[in-house]
Amino acid sequence: MAKTWVLAAAIVGSSMTFIDGSAVNVALPILQADFHASAADVQWVVEGYSLFLSALILIGGSLGDIFGRRLIFSIGIAAFAVASLACAFAPNMNVLILARCIQGCGGALAVPGSLALISATYQGVARGQAIGTWSGAASLTAAAGPVIGGYLAQHFSWRYVFLINLPLAVVVLVIAFWHVEESRDDAADFTVDWLGATLATAGLGSLVYGLIRLQDGQLDIAGLVCCAAGVVLLGAFLACEQREKVPMMPLSLFASKVFSAANIYTFFLYAALGGSLYFVPFALIDVQGYSPTAAGAAFLPFVFIQFAASRWSGGLVERIGPRTPLVIGAAVAAAGFALFARPGIGGSYWTTYFPAATVLGIGGAFFIAPLTTTVLDAVGRERSGTASGINNAVARTAGLVAIAAMGIVLAGVFARGFDPAIAHAHVSSATRALVNEHRAQLVAGTLPPGVPAGDRAIVERAQHENYLAGFRAVMLTGAAVSLLSAALAWFLIPPGRIKSGAS
């Protein structure tokens, strides 16, 4: 029974972050219209959260190993809930982005803690099955996120989307303190790598800020300088970790070829997932005319497949080894992304986006739980929290960077089609000036207010067609990166089963 409570706390706690991410993404087009925000502003609602989650998740895993996995996990859940309340009452974009950054800090403590609690409680085949159950149950719980988030944003306000975290947080904290035993690494040093955390945050923040500035499609010297500074700071972070007595990202873990290969695979595949799927709600709501509720429900096939196959897929690594499921999963995911690039404007969901979500879900069933099991099997049980934190950081960092990078792809394709379309269209000079002034809002997926009624249909059609063209380019980029991930798994991950702590 004690193990069941641990699994329940891990599932519900993880679901908070999954629900928040999926529900917020669906609400972004509504939020963007409410604040008349630019594409960069809307991206920072996601990127601010992901930045601190990515940079500090390694500290979260280490703190759990040092001070107690249950304690750090619970602190993260509480911080996440308080920040969610601040998001719900944010008066402007700046306050919302700041609150999202605090949410990221809370998530950095909670996310690695959930898997570390499972890894410290279960062993062998049972651990793979528990991870599969965690993956499936959390996915099923998260399935309600986009639908509820879309419904709330459509019928009430996007602000209610953040409030759904509060009752979940109460449930998690009650379970954690009443039914979960504390666990830690008794041999851990009580030193915290704050310099590494600072360099990681500054490096990732500078790199993403530079990439978002480059989305304007013009040579932005400040953007290039920020990107270069980000790369230098991330290099300094790696150098710091090599010299640090107790680094938050022990480079010694990468001596394991399996662990290194699994994280390389994670980076590229989750770059494809995070970077591509960010733009789906904008395409569905702003271009295809879906309601937020319908857009939220569009990904239910993906989620239900994860739930149905999770326990089976969680045991795949123990039975046949990691390479085969990881290669198949990435290759099938590539086909799913290619299917997302196929639809034009209009058409039934069942013949356009349903096949794409279904195929992507089948691919995810092969790689999500097996990848997590592979990462944890590649290190010793006593370092499970750190290993989980590193792998989560890699996944989050991949999505963080990919959203900004794929935004450049979308903006570039959009500009190449939209500018000639407006130049040759019969619209007034005032309309031309207006669309040039509000280019950032157009690239975000919505029409700026004030377009004259006589020109509105022309501008709207050009905006929809060229946003869709950019969206297709993003999805094909995701397909190509997924195929690269499959090739990396084939060449870098050995065949057969892997013993725990294997090198």
Instruction: Read off the pLDDT of residues 386-412 as tens digits, 9 standing for 90 and up.
Output: 777 788 788 888 998 999 999 999 988
pLDDT at 31: 87
Maximal C-alpha separation, the chain: 73
Distance of CA 124 to the CA centre of its chain: 28
Whole-angstrom distance between the N-terminal and C-terminal Cα of the chain? 34
C-alpha 55/C-alpha 50 separation (Å) is 8
- Are 283 and 474 within 8 A, CB to CB? no
pLDDT at 193: 84
pLDDT at 154: 86
pLDDT at 433: 79
Among residues 334, 309, 316, the alpha carbon closest in space to that of 374 is found at 316
C-alpha 20/C-alpha 100 separation (Å) is 11
- Give the number of other Cβ atoms within 10 Å of residue 435's Cβ: 22
Write out residues in the chain with pLDDT < 70, as ranges: 1-2, 123-125, 135-143, 184-190, 217-219, 310-311, 314, 380-382, 384-385, 445, 496-503
The structure tokens 């920020």 sit at 226
Four-CA torsion 34, 35, 39, 42, nearest 10 degrees: -90
pLDDT at 139: 63
Kindly state the tokens that stand for 125.
Answer: 């085949």
Alpha helices in 378-449 (DSSP H): 384-423, 429-437, 439-443
C-alpha 424/C-alpha 92 separation (Å) is 37
Amino acid found at 135: S
Spatial CB neighbours of 329, under 8 Å, sequence gap ≥ 6: 363, 364, 365, 366, 367, 368, 370, 371
* Whether the model pTM is above 0.75: yes
Among residues 446, 452, 417, 410, the alpha carbon closest in space to that of 434 is found at 452
pLDDT at 37: 81
pLDDT at 341: 95
Kindly state the tokens that stand for 134.
Answer: 């965690």
Q: Which 3-state string (H, E, C) describes 56-72?
A: HHHHHHHHHHHHCHHHH
Q: How many angstroms separate the Cα of 111 from the Cα of each of 54, 115, 388?
A: 11, 7, 9
pLDDT at 403: 92
- Are 50 and 407 within 8 A, CB to CB? no
pLDDT at 338: 97
Helix axes 257-277 and 353-377, enclosed angle (nearest 10):
150
- Give the number of other Cβ atoms within 10 Å of residue 128's Cβ: 26
Q: E-assigned strands of 142-219?
A: none
- Are 28 and 46 within 8 A, CB to CB? yes
pLDDT at 164: 83
C-alpha 17/C-alpha 53 separation (Å) is 10
C-alpha 346/C-alpha 367 separation (Å) is 32
pLDDT at 296: 85
DSSP H or E stretch at residue 447:
none
Four-CA torsion 347, 348, 350, 351, nearest 10 degrees: -30
C-alpha 112/C-alpha 384 separation (Å) is 9
The dihedrals phi and psi of 169, each to the nearest 5 degrees, come to -60, -40
C-alpha 18/C-alpha 142 separation (Å) is 6
